[in-house]
Structure 1
Amino acid sequence: MITDFINPETLRGQVAFITGGGSGINLAIGKALARLGANVGICGRTAERLETGRQELERVGAKVFTAVADVRDAGAVQDAVSACGEVLGPINFAVCGAAGNFVAPAEAISPNGFRTVVEIDLLGAFHAAHACFEQLRLTRGALLFVSGGQSYVPFAYQAHVGAAKAGIDNLMANLALEWGRYGIRANSIVPGPVEGTEGMNRMGGADAEVIWKKMTPLGRMGKLDDVANVAAFLATPLASYVSGARIAVDGGQNLTGSHVFNQAIGDAMDVSKG
């Protein structure tokens, strides 16, 4: 737990805003920030998930703001960010975490399917960062983008996601370059295979864990706290000179490539067709 290593008062009085914050890795990041004293705003498309997220964050001790918003809608994101600032105070740490994914060969991805993933992941990340800019400039705060290994290692059946995540990492680097003069830091984290997440379920679920473990030098699946703790570190003064960084939190999986995964999932898809 993050409070085992960092003073639990480190982020007292600060405000985080997280897109896709009602579940999974993004909610885990919110809880890690809350354990360090931050109050947390979360937005997402599903009111039920947001309510569950609210309850979990409040149990950790945070004041919580929620807003139903689709990150593809710039106006809705701006309204959510503005309202969060009014309720909790100016945002210090913005996490652009909303994402979409499905497994499909490139020739089977429709233009609409490709566009949907790019709009949620990349355009949604821009909308969130853009909406948070004025508050982050006021607080000299930080941006965090949740990227993916598909950004720099090609995975079969992930052409749409790879394009979106590569765009996210480039956007991060551009904002770190441009917004540094305002005191705003920007970084990406790259989660590896994390057990029990929706993203992992879409990539094969429990049946795929044996494959992922083979691909990961540390030989195990990641846990939500593995990723959340690194995100929380980037929100603290310990990371005050870290900007423009892409940090893999994947047990070394990016070092081994994607061949084992590509072969296994290709075989599985062939069996399903047969």
Structure 2
Amino acid sequence: MESKSPFKSDILKGKVALLTGGGSGIGLEISRQFGKHGASIAIMGRRKSVLDSAVSYLQSFGIPAIGLQGDVRKQEDAKRVVELTVKQFGKLDILVNAAAGNFLVSPEDLSPNGFRTVLDIDSVGTFTMCQEALNYIKKGGPGRSSTSGGLILNISATLHYTASWYQIHVAAAKAAVDAVTRNLALEWGTDYDIRVNGIAPGPIGDTAGMRKLGPEEISNKSREYMPLYKLGEKHDIAMAALYLASDAGKYINGTIMPVDGGLWLSRPRHLPKDAVKELSRTVEKKSRNAPVGVPPSKL
């Protein structure tokens, strides 16, 4: 059963959104929800077959949608896709950077080229798309008012908040994405009235990321460490994106919103819950019976 949106269906009416990685997974669900709430959608991706399928899917909901083939690592592709979006829809209000690369690998087995590839897609690609979109989403840009700018939304992760096994390349890339988000929020928020925010998803079911990183989904043992005891849904990320893209989030700038059920805070229990009270009593009793004051010298 599909989850319902808590937002009014017209909160993005008249908006135009361009999404990289918008043809599958989280990006496609954000595209769909933006479209169902009034936006016109352009999605960018490398594979034409995926784009064609995604556009047909979006159009089946009555969403005005186009697919534009391109690689975020190539500046000429980024420039062309942004220009074609504006040519088709007359303006650009929202840029969502959801294109990403990922695979499991130990640091000693990761080649510099593999490390560089993920940074190029996630970090450099995000910056390149932002830079090419700037003139269209800044206040006074084509199709925009002279008093307000648009929104950039970068899809990040929580891997780099602490550390993650076999994800050094992605952690480094997402840390860079977060830095780009905060710096552009400061500079472009000040100069061009552009809000720049991020969303950091946790493990989301039915996505390529989960199929790559947890082929059997998450084991029951791992699930016990999750504060909400469940995987997230693509719908959860799309709702967070809707909030940030709507007027409800109009004063939010420079924020990276974790949407992971609190997983990044979680650690395995080192003590069963039913043993906490007994241990606490024992510790308190020892504390009360311990001598108070400066210990006597042994000299």
TM-score with structure 2 length normalisation? 0.83
2:189 maps to which residue? 180
CA distance in 1, matches of 2:172, 2:266: 20
Distance 1:185 1:119, change over 3 A: same
Q: CA deviation at 1:211?
A: 4.9
CA distance in 2, matches of 1:160, 1:29: 25
Identify the range of structure 1 (184-193 vs 4-13) with the bigger mean alpha-carbon deviation.
Answer: 4-13
**Greater Rg by CA:** 2
The DSSP-based 3-state class of the residue aligned with 2:96 is strand
How do 1:66-105 and structure 2 match up within 5 A?
66-105=67-106
Q: Deviations over 1:248-272 (max 9, x none)?
A: 110110111599xxxxxxxxxxxxx
How do 1:29-68 and structure 2 match up within 5 A?
29-68=30-69
Matched-pair contact (CA < 8 Å) for 2:45–2:71: yes
Q: CA deviation at 1:215?
A: 2.9
CA distance in 2, matches of 1:215, 1:88: 46
Matched-pair contact (CA < 8 Å) for 2:210–2:217: no
Q: CA deviation at 1:75?
A: 0.9
Identify the range of structure 1 (136-145 vs 199-208) with the bigger mean alpha-carbon deviation.
Answer: 199-208
Q: CA deviation at 1:3?
A: 6.4
1:169 maps to which residue? 178
Question: Match for 1:184: what amino acid?
Answer: I
Matched-pair contact (CA < 8 Å) for 2:5–2:239: no
Distance 1:73 1:221, change over 3 A: same
2:265 maps to which residue? 255
Matched-pair contact (CA < 8 Å) for 1:65–1:88: no
1:272 maps to which residue? none
Identify the range of structure 1 (79-88 vs 131-140) with the bigger mean alpha-carbon deviation.
Answer: 131-140
Unaligned runs of 5+ in 2: 270-299
Question: Match for 2:214: what amino acid?
Answer: G
Question: Match for 2:202: what amino acid?
Answer: G
Q: What RMSD, in angstroms, separates the aligned Cα atoms of the two structures?
A: 1.6
Matched-pair contact (CA < 8 Å) for 1:54–1:64: yes
Distance 1:207 1:247, change over 3 A: closer
CA distance in 2, matches of 1:21, 1:216: 28
Distance 1:80 1:164, change over 3 A: same
The DSSP-based 3-state class of the residue aligned with 1:218 is coil
Unaligned runs of 5+ in 1: 260-274
Higher helix share: 1
2:253 maps to which residue? 243
Distance 1:224 1:102, change over 3 A: same
Identify the range of structure 1 (102-111 vs 206-215) with the bigger mean alpha-carbon deviation.
Answer: 206-215
Aligned length: 259
Q: CA deviation at 1:20?
A: 0.8
TM-score with structure 1 length normalisation? 0.91
How do 1:133-212 and structure 2 match up within 5 A?
133-137=134-138, 138=141, 139=144, 140-181=149-190, 182-212=192-222
